[in-house]
């Protein structure tokens, strides 16, 4: 694995290490896709803070968003991430 790839993996793992971001990913593992308003209500995080975390997760290619009607829906970027989150949940939660 190249140094660049190692750095990318480390950055993605760092994104997972933040409690709020991990909770976002756990929530989306359970629900598959949620609009921003539902995420905010479930997580009890202010919109600006939630938006910042969502942006960070998207920059790390861990989340994707899709416009559905008037709402922006978020979901995990791929199934392999769901497996990783489920392993974390099984081991630590």
The mean pLDDT of the chain is 92
Q: What is the CATH number of the domain that holds 69?
A: 1.10.10.10
What are the tens digits of pLDDT across the range 50-68? 999 999 999 999 999 999 9
Reported as half-sphere exposure (CB side, CA atoms, 13 A), residue 50 has a value of: 17
Looking at the structure of the chain, the number of domains it has is: 1
Note the pLDDT of residue 1.
75
Q: In terms of residue numbers, what domain contains 55?
A: 3-92
Q: Is residue 4 scored above 80 in pLDDT?
A: no
In this prediction the pTM is 0.89
User: What does the pLDDT read at residue 54?
Assistant: 97
Please tell me the predicted confidence (pLDDT) of residue 47: 94
Q: What is the 3-state secondary structure (H, E, C) of the chain?
A: CCHHHHHHHHHHHHHHCCHHHHHHHHHHHHHCEEEHHHHHHHHCCCHHHHHHHHHHHHHCCCEEEEEECCEEEEEECCHHHHHHHHHHHHHHC
pLDDT at 93: 82
């Amino acid at each position: 694995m190249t140094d660049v790839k190692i750095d990318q993996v480390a950055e993605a793992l760092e994104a997972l290490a933040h409690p709020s971001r991990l909770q976002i990913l756990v929530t989306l593992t359970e629900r598959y896709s949620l609009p921003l308003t539902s995420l905010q209500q479930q997580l009890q995080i202010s919109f600006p803070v939630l938006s910042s975390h969502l942006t960070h997760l998207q920059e790390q290619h861990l989340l994707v968003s899709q416009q559905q009607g008037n709402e922006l829906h978020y979901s995990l970027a791929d199934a392999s991430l769901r497996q990783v989150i489920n392993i974390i949940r099984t081991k630590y939660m």
